Structure 1
Amino acid sequence: MTTRAVVTGVGHYLPERVVPNAHFEESLDTTDEWIRSRSGIERRHFAAEGEMTSDLATRAAEAALADAGLTGADVDAIVLATSTADNTFPSAATMVQNAIGMTGGFAFDVQAVCAGFVYALTNAHALILSGQARRVLVIGAETFSRLMDWSDRSTCVLFGDGAGALLLEAQEGDGTNDDRGILATDLHSDGRYRDLLYVDGGVSTGSTGVLRMEGREVFRHAVEKLAATAHAALGKVGLTGDDVDWIVPHQANLRIITATARAMNVPMDRVVVTVQDHGNTSAASIPLALSVGVQRGQVKRGDLVVTEAIGGGLAWGSVVLRW
């Protein structure tokens, strides 16, 4: 028998405020058509004043727990992926821990920007396989609207706020690719490319800063690296794109999603796409898309799912799991 980290609950939360592309026409030299044609984005959600990343994360965690029929007291650990934690410290994960009534175990944040959820999922997988935890809440949550330069039309129209969560639980499998749970992971980073996507603030400047991005270069790296990491993760367990039921990619840009699916030889009707409704929610985008995909009836029990993402660092990676 083989221990597997199996998804037993999924949920998400989106702030109430919906911001259509037309909103930006009032202050920027842009149009709804321009934004759609370059990104596929039609609208996004922005957090309300006083609504923090930990609040979004808590709502998503509660939804995932309800889906699993459990409470915070049943959870051993929380791994929360975010680049927009409420405070420098303590971690947003500990705030969620308190909010859901989890008085034992441990909680911590992971920061790998848009690749954060893949990193968090890989860490949670390792915690379960090592016996450190039996049930782990893995959350991606962001309020990227608070990092935008509202005069930069190339970036501020792309991002939104939201949160998604999975509950992973240790279960016994047969050790084959038919087992439910995480089958393979693949992580990478390369600090040589740090200047392609970053926030120009932090303790070094004494300010929060705003997001800066070299869009064309990030696009080029994304298409190349996302397909490569997905193939690498599949290859670790002897699978190929032909075996994949669903790609649930980081929802950054529809053109990147389409190009990556093409490079993997997976048709777009086997790709969960939510970028049009949520924009780029960074570390929240994969769990958010997974939750929506389940709600839509796309992702079903037993399906082979590949998630992949790339973000600032550059950091990128993928996870292969059977739902």
Structure 2
Amino acid sequence: MYARIAGTGSYLPEHILTNAALAERVDTSDEWIASRTGIRQRHLAADNEATSDMALKAAERALVAAETTADEVDLIIVATTTPDQSFPSTACTVQDKLGLHGFPAFDVQAVCAGFVYALSVADAMIKSGAARCAVVIGAERLSNLLNWEDRTTCVLFGDGAGAVVLKASSEPGILASKLRADGRYRDILKAPGHLKQGQIEGSPWIYMDGGAVFKFAVRALADVAKETLEAAGIDQADVDWLVPHQANLRIIESTAKHLHLSMDKVIVTVDKHGNTSAASIPLALDEGVRSGRIKRGQTVLLEGIGGGFAWGSVLFKY
């Protein structure tokens, strides 16, 4: 039994904040941002647009692409670090908005690695027989965590959501996955604020040591990708597409180089929406599918790394 991706979907908020417009708010420039990150713009959620709203739209589009009705779904997993509220989970909210009830729905929090974590969990549940049709979503409203006076972080992040429908199948689907974490690095990338007695204790803003993240990320992503390929018995040369976490073009290029993959085999969308954390991989995957580049039968490698550090990789036949 395999878990196979039957359809993909994505959603980006209507409001676009370009580098030029951002430069009017903070001391930066389009050239400075683009040359260091590859980002040209990012999407920002409307005031009344919650993480669950974006997740719902991505899920609905994935269901249409999969030619699947909502009543076939028996598992929802949402990867997010920006839930609507402390609890209940954003997944339960999405389940209700889809008009469904009675089956497992829960969130996974692994920041930018959240989608590969969630996809791996759904894969295991389908292979065990615990589910037959899962909606796996990555959704983030990171603009809630941005200090618009900190140019080291506010230029990097955006809002959005991506989703896949994962179904039980006798045909090859997800071939292998590897997940890793190392809490010793938890202070390099974090948003430490938390609620205490009705007040926020600690900084509510994203903090990142960019140089340290870059140094760790390139090697960690390359290593976990190789481990995933080895587990599946697939050679690097047989990978048709790499769909990486869209954090920084330099990290994407360096990782591809370590894997001996041409950038012609890499789906890049970071220029269009910046770093959307758990949403970035499914956003890029949906772009690759809908543009006609990723085709049925091809071998696709996903990988992502986020605060924790938490990182991982998933290899599948589309």
Q: TM-score range by the shorter chain?
A: over 0.9
Aligned to 2:208: 213
Name the residue aligned to 1:186.
178
- For 2:292, the aligned partner's letter is G
Gaps of 5+ in 2: none
- Aligned partners of 1:18 and 1:44 also within 8 Å: yes
The SS at the match of 1:316 is: strand
Residues 61-72 of structure 1 aligned to structure 2 (within 5 Å)? 61-72=59-70
Partner AA of 1:110 in structure 2: V
- By how many angstroms is 1:103 displaced? 2.2
User: Any idea what SS the aligned residue of 2:17 has?
Assistant: strand
Contact 1:13 1:164 in 2 (8 A): yes
Residue by residue over 1:223-261, the C-alpha shift from the partner in whole angstroms, topping out at 9 and shown as x without a partner, is 010010000000002112111000000000000000000
Find out whether 1:13 has 2:11 as its counterpart.
Answer: yes
Aligned to 2:151: 153
Structure 1 Cα separation of the partners of residues 272 and 185 of structure 2: 29
- Cα distance in 1 between the residues matched to 2:7 and 2:93: 20
Partner of 1:196: 188
1:87 and 2:79 correspond: no
Deviation track 1:131-189 (CA, whole Å, cap 9, x = no partner) reads 1100000000000011001111011000010000000000113xxxxx2x100000000
Confirm or deny that 1:142 pairs with 2:136: no
Asked whether the 8 Å contact 1:72–1:97 carries over to 2, the reply is no
**Cα offsets for 1:35-72 (capped at 9, x unmatched):** 00000000110000010000000000000011112222
**Aligned counterparts of 2:66 and 2:22: Cα–Cα separation in 1:** 39
- Is the 1:44–1:159 contact (alpha carbons within 8 Å) kept by the matching residues of 2? yes
Q: Shift of the alpha carbon at 1:105?
A: 1.2
Following superposition, the deviation at residue 101 of structure 1 comes to 1.7
User: Residue 131 of structure 1 aligns to which amino acid in structure 2?
Assistant: G
CA distance in 1, matches of 2:249, 2:235: 23
Matched-pair identity in %: 55
Structure 2 matches for 1:211-290, cutoff 5 A?
211-290=206-285
Residue 104 of structure 1: CA displacement? 2.9
Deviation at 1:73, TM superposition (A): 1.1
CA distance in 2, matches of 1:193, 1:29: 29
Determine if the alignment matches structure 1 residue 163 to structure 2 residue 155: no
Instruction: Give the aligned CA root-mean-square deviation in angstroms.
Output: 1.0
TM-score (norm 2): 0.97
**C-alpha distance in 1, partners of 2:23/2:120?**
40
> Where does residue 176 of structure 1 map in the other structure?
none
Q: Distance in 2 between matches of 1:237 and 1:141?
A: 28
SS in 2 for 1:195: coil
Structure 1 residue matching 2:195: 3-state secondary structure: coil
The aligned amino acid for 1:317 is G
Q: Given residue 117 of structure 2, which amino acid in structure 1 is its aligned partner?
A: Y
| Distance in 1 (alpha carbons) for counterparts of 2:180 and 2:306 | 11
2:44 matched to 1:51? no
Contact 1:73-1:103 within 8 A present in 2 as well: no
In the alignment, the residues of structure 1 paired with residue 208 and residue 35 of structure 2 have an alpha-carbon distance, to the nearest angstrom, of 19
Measure how far apart 1:203 and its partner are: 3.1
Structure 1, unmatched stretches of 5+, are 174-178
Aligned length: 315
Q: C-alpha offsets along residues 4-38 of structure 1, whole Å, 9 cap, x if unaligned?
A: 00011110011000110011211211100000000
